Amino acid sequence: MTVQASPVIDLVLLQKIANTIRFLSADGVQKAKSGHPGLPMGCAEIATVLLTKFLRLDPADPKWSNRDRFILSAGHGSMLLYSMLSLAGYIPAEELQKFRQLHSMTPGHPEVDDVPGVDMTAGPLAAGFSSAVGMALAERIMAEMYNTPKYEVTEHYTYVLMGDGCHMEGLSQEAASFAGHNKLGKLIAIYDDNEISIEGSTNLAFTENVNARYEALNWHVQDIDGHDMAAIENAITEAKKETKRPSLIVAHTIIGKGAPHKQGTSHAHGEPLGEEEVLAAKQAMNWPEEKFYIPAEVKAFFEQKKAEWAENRAVWDKMLAEYDSKHRKIAKEFMRVTSGQLPLQWKNATPDFPAGESMSTRVAGGKAMNAFGAVLPELIGGSADLEPSTKTCIKTGDYPDYIAPGMFLGRNLHFGVREHAMGGIVNGMALHGGIIPFGATFMVFHDYMRAPVRLSALMKQRSLWVYTHDSIFVGEDGPTHQPVEHLAAMRCIPRLNVWRPCDANETAYAWQHALARTDGPTAFALSRQNLPVLDRTHYAPAKDTLKGGYIIEYDPEGKAEIILIASGSEVHLAIEVANILREAGRIVRIVSMPCIEVFKEQAEGYRRKIIPKRFKKRVVIEAGVIQGWEGILGDSGIFIGLDDFGVSGPYQELARHFGLVADSIIDKLASADF
């Protein structure tokens, strides 16, 4: 694709643009009386060079699939990004005066979707960097899948601005290691090396050689003056020439540059400069005292720049039309996946497992993934070095199994033992678009990746989290590997659907629901041990799984005395308990509750039909802690689960040790006068 050249711009105008960004940011923080002025003022030259000379955008279509991505990993410096977006035409200039105010387009940290032009919700340090790795990976995968020699419909760069804190966080090491190993040459990270943190000099806690670390991780590293715009431009140009390694540009900057008394100090980091200091900075740099001032020549330049961006987008649109005419089948697929839509009749791929078999839900999950993967080439992901245990290798499709360093045509990734980075990379792939990504590990290691799972929910991304070994029934590995509180920890994350299916067919429908969902992430909690595949001629249809909770075995004429509610493997235990109670003449209803969140989304009439208010004798059975079940359990119900960690031993012995066997439950019900 031929790209229209940028308008000629002299150094004087470049510096005016930089100072415009610098003081728009300082004014925004000062008006809000809250925020971080130091990074925006120190990175104004970096932002200027990126915006005027490198970033390929379309302000008229913020979600254009072939735009360059720019992620502010140091999200506290958000006024830098908002100033850039305002000049580029994404957000009105008056929004800069509403920084950190309720319902403004300029919240305290960048928020994807809520702010046009923001590519990721950033704030937790290094999270943006790890997701930028995922975006760069997705770009390469999409290029391999859909580009042809003449038509490069996916061909863009991922830029990320990092701070000192991003490098201090261990997450950056994981993500940088993955990126260097996989030769993500179109990832360009710029490090705002201002040597200041909130507590003072970074030397208080951070004295490592960052350059040497990244070189050891197979990165292309350059060292520059972050205020020298010619040096910034040359460094980015050199980074773009490096195709086999990601690039780190270490830009030495002065935090709060221009503020005569606070620049270079921690006082410029996380608090407004003060009216007098902002005024003094403007005077020192010969800038008008007017607040939120934008010079006429800067406005004129960006009008011309917007025309350039529009022309380049028109060139791409023309290429896409030709691509569609020459390669109709692949073009149709490309446009489908980039729109986030699923193909017609895709649900027909939902597998049906015959009754009488016995398999773990992790095995069933792998089979369901492969069934859907056969019709969804965009389903791509991997595990944290645990695929033989998580059963998450997609073995169908038109591509080789595994993506390898510099070779991006495949369905499966080796994330290595990097759970935290895996989470960020999966989010980046989802944010990029065109891919439905998944990441898999043992459920107990959700602890390592809670932050990216939370971000996936906050950003409403279709990130799929596959957790296996879902309870103390992991067995011999003991309490370090036995999740107890993890279901509760996941269920308390807003917008995250947590599925714990009871058999293979519930697992298949859980996957169907997750793939269809476009407004948030899904977590699967899957068993290590085998579970019977229920006979659906006797039990309720497996399709009822899609409602989150359903009566899996009806009580005669709806006259039950006791209702047993369970998830996952404990549904089979509930069935066993119910049979004993029925032999004693009791009338029992059994409810399978594979997903509390989806059940709560159902109409109240449906929920009351499944668990009527009149049912006082409710029993919830789950091999975990009680948190999350309170609303369903009611005031007088009984929870049968755990209130402490597990122990090492064969899972059958653990079941008896913790009272998760039928006769123990019968005794508990009797003692509670149930």
Q: Which entry of 169, 387, 419, 622 is annotated as an active-site residue?
A: 419
Instruction: Give, in degrees to the nearest 5, the angle at Cα 516 between 515 and 521.
Output: 60
**Would you say how long the chain is, in residues?**
674
For the question of residue 419 being annotated catalytic, the response is yes
DSSP 51: I
Distance between CA atoms of 473 and 471, rounded to whole angstroms?
5
Q: Are β-strands 220-225 and 412-414 bridged in parallel, bridged antiparallel, or unpaired?
A: unpaired
CB 36 within 8 Å of CB 76: yes
Buried b (16+ CB within 10 A) or exposed e, 531-561: bebbebeebbebebbbbbbbbbbebeeeebe
Q: How many CB atoms lie within 10 A of CB 355?
A: 15
Task: Tell which phi-psi region holds residue 257, choosing left (phi > 0), alpha (psi between -120 and 50) or beta.
Answer: beta
Residue 102 DSSP class: T
What is the distance between the alpha carbons of residues 45 and 306, in angstroms, rounded to a whole number? 20
Angle between helices 11-32 and 78-88 (to 10 degrees): 120
What CA–CA distance (Å, rounded) separates 520 from 518? Answer: 6
Mode of pairing for the β-strands spanning 196-197 and 200-201: antiparallel
What's the DSSP call for residue 402? B
Amino acid identity of residue 517, one-letter, is: R
Q: Which of 87, 188, 189, 169 is nearest to 123 (CA)?
A: 169
- Please list the active-site residues: 419
